[in-house]
Structure 1
Amino acid sequence: MSNSIDSLVRMINQIAANSMGAHDPTAEVVNHLRSFWTPKMCADLKSSNVTSELNAVA
């Protein structure tokens, strides 16, 4: 896995962990990604097929 993908995985897992106390943690993660991540960041993560390394909420 590339360093940039490693960073994206680490970031989204941190976002997910910090959202666990929310009423709807998944919605919190989605809202965060829509607000702060570029479309390229989302596309890179999606195309990397690293789902086994992601927090369940991510």
Structure 2
Amino acid sequence: MAAFAVLVLLAHLLFAQLTFVLAVVFAAVSKTTRWRLWWLAVPAAAGLGWTLAIGPRAAAAG
């Protein structure tokens, strides 16, 4: 049981560092790219067009 507890503790330490590194990377990417809100209109318009093309019922079923 003690060995299992040590293994769980080591896994938590490993994933905590990984989570921190990913958070730093994502924060840096978001600061450097500076997505503008209107850029998101292009994929939203494409999705709306696709939904209208295949029909709302088929889009909801998918």
Query: What TM-score does the superposition give when structure 2 sets the normalisation length?
Result: 0.32
- Structure exhibiting the larger radius of gyration computed from Cα positions: 2
Return the structure number with greater relative CO, CA threshold 8 A, min gap 6. Answer: 1
Q: Which has the higher helix share?
A: 2
Query: What TM-score does the superposition give when structure 1 sets the normalisation length?
Result: 0.34
